[in-house]
A and B are shown apart, each in its own frame.
Chain A
Amino acid sequence: MTGVSDRDVDATGTPRWVKVLAIIALVVLALVVVLLVTGHGGGHGPGRHTMAAETLLATPLS
């Protein structure tokens, strides 16, 4: 599957496998965005750790 044939050159439009891959990528991206926006992603973004570290540093040792 490595050669470039006349079929490749004469073909127009996007190949089916590229379209399928693009749809899968869009679905995964949408899922990630929904999880982040709704907060169902476990709250594991960078902010979680920064806030946790700040809270801990602000807490005096007992």
Chain B
Amino acid sequence: MLTAHVACSVGWLGAVAAFLALGVVGLSSDDAEAVRGAYLVMEPAAWAVLLPLAVASLLTGLIQSLGTSWGLFRHYWVLIKLLINVVSTVVLLMYMQTFRDMADVAGNPRADLDSVRTASPVVHAALALLLLLVATFLAVFKPRGMTAYGRRKLREQRAALEAKRDEQGTALVR
């Protein structure tokens, strides 16, 4: 599951980098067909690659954290990664309509290049890349810090373990 989560998350990062490149082509290329093509290809590529990877990263991350001692709300780094993943996926879902609208304009032969070009995909992809890089950094370095909930849970677990040991010790003495 960890391998699947890493593959999906890093794949998502790479896909966002590709969208950033497409956005730059759309914004700066002198080739009219390349500009229109960049915006036309974004929507199907987002449905085929971006969104499935985002959802897969979220699901595998949830299973991975809930299935191990890391938990979902115990460590700040896990909690922040979850927050980044959920926010990015929701914004991507909302942005799917924008992909559709950009493709409509790019596919319209009456639309001049100035109305086709937009900085929106570059801005969104750059911000998404930044967020996903932060998530990758957190996943690799796992900085210290437990939430109040995590500390309480750990104390409860340790207390339960000690009580069990005491119980076993008393039984042995008898």
Contact = CB atoms under 8 A, between A and B. Distances in A.
Interface stretch (B8-16, B55-63, B144-152): B144-152
B111 A56 contact: yes
Contact of A4 (B94, B101, B110, B154): B154
Given A49-B104, A52-B115, A8 B110 contact: no
Contact of B101 (A2, A11, A50, A59): A50
B110 A2 contact: no
B73 interface: no
Interface size class of A (residues with CB under 8 A): 20 to 34
B118 A9 contact: no
Interface string B90-116: 000011011001101100101100010
Given A9-B155, A56-B110, A1 B144 contact: yes
B104 A8 contact: no
B80 A8 contact: no
Contacts of A14: 76, 145
B29 interface: no
A7 B145 CA distance: 9
Contacts of A21: 80, 134
Contacts of A9: 146, 151, 154-155, 158
Q: Which 8 A-B pairs have the closest CB atoms?
A: A49-B101, A44-B120, A15-B145, A46-B98, A42-B119, A53-B104, A44-B118, A18-B76
Interface of B: 76, 80, 94-95, 97-98, 101-102, 104-105, 108, 110-111, 115, 118-120, 123, 127, 134, 141-146, 151, 154-155, 158
